[in-house]
Amino acid sequence: MNKSKSLELSGWVFSTCGVFVATGVFSLCRGFLDKGQASLLYLPLVIACAIRFGFGPAVFGAVLSFLCWDFFFLPPYYTFTVNYFTDWISLIVFLTAALMTAQLASRARKDADQARSRRDEIAMLFDASESISQTVQAEKLLPELADRLLERTESTRCVILSRSSSGKFLVLTDRGAGANDGDQSSIISIALVACEYGQVIGFGNDNIWRKALVEAGLYSDSGPIKDNIGVYILLHAENALVGVLHLAPKRDNKRYSSTEERLIRTLANHAAVVIARQSLAKEAAETAALKEADLLKDTLLSLVSHELRSPLAAIKATASGMLQPDAVWPENATREALTAIDKEADRMTGVVTNLLDLSRLEAGAWKPDKDWCEISDIVATVLDRLPEDDARRVKLNLSDDTPLVKVDYIQIALTVKNLLENAIKYTSPDTPIELAVTPSTNTGIQVSVRDYGTGIPSKEKDAIFQRFYRGEGHKSGTVHGTGIGLALCKAIVTAHGGKIWVSNAGGKDSPGAEFIFYLPSGV
């Protein structure tokens, strides 16, 4: 039993019991009351019934009061006989007054209910508008709109569909009885018909739509779709059809009132705005991503072409000189030329390798293959692979109580190598590079690479780990690089659950930069 039926039944019970209780109380005082005064005592009961339960129970109470007054308070008592003409007039006046009072009180109650309903409707629409203005997340807003519709209209189910440019429907939210049970094909089929005809289904045009649905093969008297198929509202935004809102029949199978129809249409407009704005946000994000991709492509082409052109030019010039038929090359000069070619080839290989490694990491194709390692073994491997002159510049400070760490040996070795090469690149050949490994208070290890160069400007400390970012040294042309090495270091450390940062190492008498990364020791 729904709320309205329960309230109506309560009104009839209240009228009956109220009149009988009042009659019993008044009968005890009959000797002290004039027969006309008793009628006035029933009027407050009729008014209360009208205000609380409406016109029907109030009329019933007025008629029952009329009969009880005649039966118990007009002589001859306990009969419905009326001996005096004046008593007939009193009875008719009482009944008329009671009915008019009931009508006026009921109308006042109805007006108050409508005012409250309008107030609640305005408050709901205001809340919906405020929610829409504060967030663009359709997955959050649309379920809230659906729940409000279900609450205010007593519908059994609310489904909101979005429509793609190709005409296909996607279920954005499905709330209420039977929601998310997979039985959405019939709803989508009827929504397609509504879109084809370009009209709303369910507000007083059943005959038209029954014919349209029969022609589409979606309806028959014995089919799965019953006479009352609910409501289908077309969602338009910017003169474009963006979706359909479906409300199933009400719990009592009654039609939606004009007030409910107004609320449904208004919240449907809100849903259309949400869907359209989500589509615009998606398009804006895709546009921004394309612009960023174009910018990265242009930056990559510019940097790579510059970094590869120099070693290619050196290799080409050296090889061409050696191939001259009349050229005479001493043995030591030949060796120097071949060494230069080898060095420039290694430089090219490093650029390409870093690009590939960074791409694989960001795409998730090069996940860390972790195993327990001694960080000192990784450092020793890195130093063995550095040129002898560069390796001699590195001063080690390895703590004896450094714990084992579970890391990818190759990736962490690449990180240490890139940090050392970065420090070597930015410092003069006669300055040392300090590499320290210490236990961390966070149950892990901390590795630092400190140089005695010019340091890092404060404005570059956050940007220096971004892809293709190059500092002032690159812009002035004094240092070569693609801006990939540090970005690769950050990607590797982050994939291991660690952190990496940079700070200036000292003051006026102790310049330079210190790159530090932390690795947890556990899995």
- pLDDT tens digit sequence for 409-432: 988 998 998 899 888 888 888 888
Mean pLDDT of 55-71: 76
| Tokens 């659906």 -> residue | 146
Q: What is the CA radius of gyration of the chain?
A: 43
> How far, rounded to the nearest angstrom, does the alpha carbon of residue 69 sit from its chain's CA centroid?
66
Quick one: pLDDT at residue 5? Answer: 62
Phi and psi of 427, rounded to 5°?
-130, 160
Mean pLDDT of 295-305: 59
Domain extents in the chain = 3-121, 136-283, 371-520
Average pLDDT, the chain: 75
Torsional sign, CA 349, 355, 358, 361: negative
- What is the number of alpha carbons within 13 Å of residue 195 lying toward its C-beta? 24
Give 245's strand partners.
Answer: 160, 233
Residue 346 pLDDT greater than 70, yes or no: yes
Quick one: pLDDT at residue 478? Answer: 53
Pairing status of strand 394-398 against strand 433-440: parallel
pTM: 0.44
- Of 99-108, 147-156, 357-366, give the lowest mean pLDDT range: 357-366
Quick one: pLDDT at residue 488? Answer: 82
Quick one: pLDDT at residue 337? Answer: 77
Residue 405 pLDDT greater than 70, yes or no: yes
In angstroms, the CA 514 to CA 502 distance is 6
- What is the number of alpha carbons within 13 Å of residue 385 lying toward its C-beta? 15
Tens digit of each residue's pLDDT (9 = 90 or more) over 436-455: 998 887 688 999 999 888 77
Residue 507 pLDDT greater than 60, yes or no: no
**Cβ-Cβ contacts under 8 Å for 124 (sequence gap 6 or more):** 148, 152, 263, 267
Quick one: pLDDT at residue 225? Answer: 45
Quick one: pLDDT at residue 34? Answer: 64
Question: What is the DSSP-derived secondary structure letter of residue 464?
Answer: G
56 within 8 A of 102, measured Cβ to Cβ = no
Burial 157-183 (b: 16+ CB within 10 A, else e): bbbbbbbeeeeebeebbbbbeebeeee
The H-or-E segment that residue 171 falls in is strand 169-176
Residue 509 pLDDT greater than 60, yes or no: no
Residue 306 pLDDT greater than 70, yes or no: no
Quick one: pLDDT at residue 436? Answer: 92
Residue 319 pLDDT greater than 80, yes or no: no
By three-state DSSP, how is residue 283 classified?
A: helix
In angstroms, the CA 238 to CA 269 distance is 11
Band of pLDDT at residue 1, cut at 50, 70 and 90: very low
Which range, 35-44, 246-255, 371-380, has the best average confidence (pLDDT)?
371-380
Of the chain, the percentage scoring pLDDT greater than 70 comes to 72
CATH number attached to the domain at 371-520: 3.30.565.10
User: CA–CA distance from 204 to each of 209, 255, 261 (Å)?
Assistant: 10, 9, 11
Is the peptide bond preceding residue 76 cis, with omega within 30 degrees of 0?
Answer: yes
Quick one: pLDDT at residue 300? Answer: 58
The H-or-E segment that residue 340 falls in is helix 331-362
Start-to-end CA span in the chain (Å): 59
Which range, 210-219, 288-297, 379-388, 479-488, has the best average confidence (pLDDT)?
379-388
**Residue 272: how many other CB atoms lie within 10 Å:** 24
Mean pLDDT of 54-82: 76
| Tokens 């949400």 -> residue | 274
Band of pLDDT at residue 517, cut at 50, 70 and 90: very high
By three-state DSSP, how is residue 233 classified?
A: strand
Quick one: pLDDT at residue 224? Answer: 43
Q: Who has greater pLDDT, 501 or 270?
A: 501
Tens digit of each residue's pLDDT (9 = 90 or more) over 224-251: 444 467 888 888 887 788 888 888 888 8
Give 171's strand partners.
Answer: 161
User: CA–CA distance from 61 to each of 19, 23, 39, 78, 306 (Å)?
Assistant: 7, 12, 13, 19, 97
Helix, strand, coil content of the chain in percent (nearest 5): 60, 15, 25
In angstroms, the CA 184 to CA 8 distance is 36
Phi and psi of 519, rounded to 5°?
-125, 130
Phi and psi of 146, rounded to 5°?
-65, -45
The H-or-E segment that residue 371 falls in is strand 371-373
CATH architecture entry for 136-283 = 2-Layer Sandwich (3.30)
Tens digit of each residue's pLDDT (9 = 90 or more) over 85-123: 776 777 677 777 777 777 777 777 777 777 777 776 676
Answer yes or no: same fold for 136-283 and 371-520.
no
Mean pLDDT of 174-189: 74
Amino acid sitting at position 465: F
In angstroms, the CA 87 to CA 70 distance is 9
Residue 136 pLDDT greater than 80, yes or no: no
Quick one: pLDDT at residue 221? Answer: 53
**Residue 436: how many other CB atoms lie within 10 Å:** 16
